[in-house]
Amino acid sequence: MTEDAGFSVMSFNIQVGIGSHRARHMLLHGWKYVMPHGQSLRNLERIAEILSEADIVGLNEVDAGSFRSQYVNQAGFLAERAHFPYWAQQRTRDFGELAQHSNSVLSRWPIARSEPHTLPSFMKGRGMLETSTEINGQPLTVVITHLGLSRHARFSQIRDLAQRLRQRRHLILMGDLNCTARSPEIRLLLAESGLQAPPWNPPTFPSWSPRFSFDHIFCSPDLEFTEIESIGEPLSDHLALKARLRWNSKPEANVTTRSP
């Protein structure tokens, strides 16, 4: 891959492999958050097929290996099935045998450093996973996070994020932020951190009738978006969000966008 060709990244909240793709599943499949079920590995196999299209993947709602996932570390399983040689994980809520919530990164390139950070939250369990890699001789930091459900919590978490990421170069931030691109939380994040948004934000939630752009990919100004799209196959309550980026060589990118 040449530097001009850029690279692709993907953000996906996989809902621990539950596979909700209808509104009624949110109620009927609720037990799958805490109990193992035979469909989960088949769902993960299908998710791996989508992830294989990207060079770097950020995952939310991944189980790190507990009773409900049949003791399968879902990040490791997806890395193997999608042929990612490198991956890293942050356990955000560790309930031992019962459940192990995590954020994860899968990468085609070696991960030189992986550092978990906690974010302020009323209930412990929100965090950001910061990893460092190198692409075509350029250092790159990839940060994965999953923000809270309440606006008050998100504002606290975004202020913390913005302080950590302010004016940093060679950086990508991805994840389920639980708020839309036009929300005051995202406006604050972009203003305080110096990160830039893609030219448009495809809706990703709910997957069966996407209306809300809850999943995001942002980057520092020394990178630019050339494509942004959601992947239209509902394998979770969220759709996967995929972008292609390249190192910024001119003030404005020639951007191609596609909707689901």
Which of the pair, 156 or 21, is modelled with greater confidence?
156
In-domain check, residue 260: no
Question: Which band of pLDDT confidence, cut at 50, 70 and 90, is reported for residue 100?
Answer: confident
Lowest mean pLDDT among 72-76, 77-81, 231-235: 231-235
| Alpha-carbon gap, residue 242 to 8, rounded angstroms | 7
Is residue 116 situated within a structural domain?
yes
CATH code, domain carrying 183: 3.60.10.10
Report pLDDT for 34. Answer: 55
Q: Quick check: is 61 in a domain?
A: yes
pLDDT at 38: 61
pLDDT confidence band for 20 (50 / 70 / 90): low
Length of the chain in terms of residues written: 260
d(CA 114, CA 141): 10
Residues 187-210 have a mean pLDDT of: 96
Q: Which of 232, 219, 176 is nearest to 50 (CA)?
A: 232
User: Strand 7-13 relative to strand 223-231: parallel, antiparallel, unpaired?
Assistant: unpaired
From CA 211, how far away is CA 226, in angstroms rounded? 23
Write out the residue range of the structural domain in which residue 79 sits. 7-255
pLDDT digits (tens, 9 = 90+) for 116-174: 999 998 878 899 999 999 998 899 999 999 999 999 999 999 999 999 999 899 999 99
Report long-range pairs for 25-32 (Cβ below 8 Å, ≥24 apart).
Answer: 25/237, 26/206, 26/237, 32/68
Give the pLDDT of residue 258.
46
- Summarised one tens digit per residue, pLDDT across range 23-70 is 444 554 553 555 556 678 899 999 999 999 999 999 999 999 887 788
Q: Does pLDDT of 234 surpass 50?
A: yes
CA 158 remoteness from chain centre: 16
Decide if 100 is inside a domain: yes
Does residue 15 lie within any of the structural domains? Answer: yes
- In a domain, residue 174? The reply is yes
Q: State mean pLDDT over 165-193.
A: 97
Is the pLDDT score of 10 beyond 70?
yes
- The domain tally of the chain equals 1
pLDDT, the chain, mean: 88
The pTM of the full predicted model, rounded to 2 decimals, is 0.89
CB–CB of 127/157 below 8 Å? no
Q: For residue 2, is it within any domain?
A: no
Residue 1 inside a domain? The answer is no
